[in-house]
Chains A and B, each alone.
Chain A
């Protein structure tokens, strides 16, 4: 468990040492990722059998310690982040070299540190540890977001840091300290930590502070850092802004709902319902904005904002199906969205095109990339044969169970919108004729390999969702 956090850090150091020799440096990156995956799988085999190790690291505030503890939700998040780190590293090698990026050593170093922080978020045993790693994740990804160093990148980085640090320091920290005073503990305990003495008013306010304070979940109106962060190189957008960073956000919200408030207690809070509408609003409005974006990465960014709110909604509905659906959606969306970003990056390096309107007829030149894009789009929209179907199904079921008809229709409308703005791209690629006669090559082999692995997982999860479902339902037993 501690190894999972230390491994990427060691990797970061090795990368720094091998700065002068790119091949060795990349070997270290991949080797660390492989070892991390093995470690995580080994750990998972214990955790899913019901073994939950924990470890106290230090006690910086009297009475509140930094603890590591594994539970199924965190294990799942760690597994995805770790596995996709490996995939992304393979992709990044092709992309960074193909794109002739500067400062690649710095890139791989901070990438590894960011993963260490994400592992810390996953295995945090209390709110203090969660906050520590959450902030580390923000700061360690800042150099990645501003990687290219242009004024535009700096402006994006400023918004990125401003929103994430701003929300977490003013609201999340306040919520955590209030929780410490109200409950006397910060540990994650199944069923929640608040006694009956805590008023509905107080808990409602805390919930709002948590949900908005976790800016990484990109709930409106604190969503605009995500499009701003798209100035980053594509592998960063892919892993961090489709998986590690944003998922750390929704994961934290899910974890807080289950282990701080407790699902039963959540269900009694009127604030949860109100915040559920905010999530519903975000889902629809972000999708509508995505329609208007011609830049491919910007469109994917808004799509991410919309999809994140699915998970938030799942936890706020506070029923079994919602929690399971939300948890599964973290996984499903991770594979789907990372594929889409990989494809966007592949198109960029192969053709130097970044606008949707320029992609006409590209399907003939880049058939693999476009097919992968098509399948991943289906997953995001929640259509077979892709994994996204199941999580959406469960979320819809949760809205029915709680009688939230408005939110059910939000989910349905959103599906239609997703089809509209995502499938437009493969449709253009395959059915429209290209404007010029220029022919392009497929993306570099390492990029295609990464895309293939990710899209394969998406399809696999459609046919075999059962293990995932069983792990997710461990959370509500």
Chain B
């Protein structure tokens, strides 16, 4: 009984805890409540993941209203993995949030911060579990609006403009998505994804459907920060509070990407999206451009948070490329990279949270001698960096391997080569930072390691990068299962 309602609980738990956070008399209590809600959500996700692995899809009609009239939540091999990573990253980030946020946001606004965080989490989880196209839009808005708030709470006043920029772009994206969903409703008379998919074959290849696909792809593209629609992302990541950067970078774009996968493969289907419409070519070109351009920009970026933001744009390119290949191997690579990239970016931004906490700056030149001043932070940063580069025995390596393998198997030689060149650019921008960090520090620089509650979360994610680079049953194994589920007969 309870197992069937779990998917609803995962959304409701943070949603209900959110308003309670404001009511807490002390900031510390709201932090604790947020952490508990997030961990509960993670525990539910783990349980759901295990259930789906053993028994297959779990369908829960909301309020007992049967689909296609009522909204239903569907947990399947694809979104159970995304849920796992979203709630997991949220919990780890919240662990380090207390100290970091104490320093970056004044205590009167902290309860609001945790409220926004939980709303965002609830929105992201909602987007993943829902089986209803319009409901997905609603949750998308919940997560987006709360993330604008989260970003605007950054110390730097530029956070306000960054947030506003994101708001404008995000709203355009959301509008496109609602238009797309509207077209779908127009053509099929249904909002339930599975139902739309069944009804579509009759009406497919009409101008309406083609426009729906276009609107949805562009709308999601804005949310994903697909090149060249990524302009909101660097500032948003750079000026948001440190833990927010970690949370948003590791989850928000990934969930949007998941939604795109859902629309393309489940609703429109492989045949329409990739055979009748030229999505493969469009996405592949944009993806490769993202990898090359964003990586090059990252090389010249002095603010490390911005550098990592551009690196995210490039990494999103890899994920899109996997979708563009549109084979089982490609989609496996894409989903595995969603998982792996969350681990590496989460670890990198959390390590930077330690740096911000102790040094107060993330400009490259201020980090001279970090390897002596904050050796443990440096260690976590280095491990995650190696994973980002795609060093063997880290999670990053496995996703790179899968992607290149998929590209070669599809006969995309040039693309495979460009992916590898892109990872060399990553070596350049990462190593520029590492090299400065290992320079001998100035004479009077004290050893100023971050407190354990900031270090531990960064290290949890850093070690996860190694674990999931060697024992890949969870990330790659289930990514493969998800790809088979999504593509069905198409190999």
Contact = CB atoms under 8 A, between A and B. Distances in A.
A417 interface: no
Interface string B393-413: 100011011101100110000
B439 A149 contact: yes
B472 A174 contact: no
A157 B431 CA distance: 11
Nearest to A132: B392
B203 to A, nearest CB: 38
Interface stretch (A57-65, A304-312, A406-414): A57-65
A67 to B, nearest CB: 13
Nearest to A102: B440
Contact of A170 (B389, B409, B421, B469): B421
Residue in A135, A136, A174, A177 with the greatest tally of chain B CB atoms within 10 Å: A177
Contacts of B409: 181
B391 interface: yes
B480 A62 contact: yes
Given A58-B471, A149-B440, A178 B408 contact: yes
Interface stretch (A17-25, A158-166, A396-404): A158-166
Contacts of B286: none
A177 B423 CA distance: 15
B460 interface: no
A174 B480 contact: no
A154 B435 contact: yes
Interface residues of A, number: 30
A117 B389 CA distance: 19
B401 A177 contact: yes
Contact of B416 (A128, A135, A136, A174): A174
A1 B405 CA distance: 31
Most chain B CB atoms below 10 A, which of A60, A62, A180: A60
Given A62-B476, A136-B393, A139-B391, A161 B402 contact: no
A367 to B, nearest CB: 40
Given A60-B398, A165-B427, A174 B420 contact: yes
A61 B427 contact: no
Interface string B55-93: 000000000000000000000000000000000000000
Contact of B408 (A143, A161, A177): A177
Given A62-B480, A139-B386, A174-B416, A131 B408 contact: no
Contacts of A143: 438
A61 B435 contact: no
Contacts of A158: 431, 435
A177 B416 CA distance: 10
A170 B400 CA distance: 12
A13 interface: no
B419 to A, nearest CB: 10
A214 to B, nearest CB: 15
Contacts of A58: 470-471
Nearest to B426: A169
A198 to B, nearest CB: 14
B420 A170 contact: yes
A136 B424 CA distance: 16
A174 B417 contact: yes
Given A165-B424, A177-B401, A181-B408, A170 B417 contact: yes
Nearest to B440: A149
Interface in B88-138: none
A132 to B, nearest CB: 4
A173 interface: yes
B322 interface: no
Given A60-B470, A139-B391, A149-B440, A173 B404 contact: yes
A60 B393 CA distance: 8
B477 interface: yes
Contacts of B416: 174, 177
Given A161-B431, A166-B424, A169-B427, A61 B417 contact: no
B349 to A, nearest CB: 23
Contacts of B234: none
A61 B472 contact: yes
Contact of B405 (A165, A169, A180): A180
Interface string A170-214: 100110011011000000000000000000000000000000000
Interface string B439-466: 1100000000000000000000000000
A166 B417 CA distance: 12
Contacts of A135: 391-392
A169 B423 contact: yes
Contact of B390 (A60, A162, A169): A169
Given A135-B391, A174-B404, A61 B398 contact: yes
A173 to B, nearest CB: 7
Contacts of A162: 427
Contacts of B417: 170, 174
B404 A61 contact: no
Contacts of A62: 472, 476-477, 480
B423 A181 contact: no
B393 A177 contact: no
A181 B390 CA distance: 20
Contacts of A180: 405
B470 A177 contact: no
A462 B389 CA distance: 46
A177 B424 contact: no
A158 B470 CA distance: 28
A66 B470 CA distance: 9
A171 to B, nearest CB: 8
A66 B392 CA distance: 11
Nearest to B400: A173
8 contacts: A60-B398, A61-B398, A143-B438, A149-B439, A166-B424, A170-B420, A177-B416, A181-B409
Query: Which 4 A-B residue pairings sit nearest by Cβ, starting from the closest?
Result: A132-B392, A170-B420, A58-B470, A60-B472
Given A60-B471, A135-B392, 4 more contacts: A60-B398, A60-B472, A158-B431, A177-B401
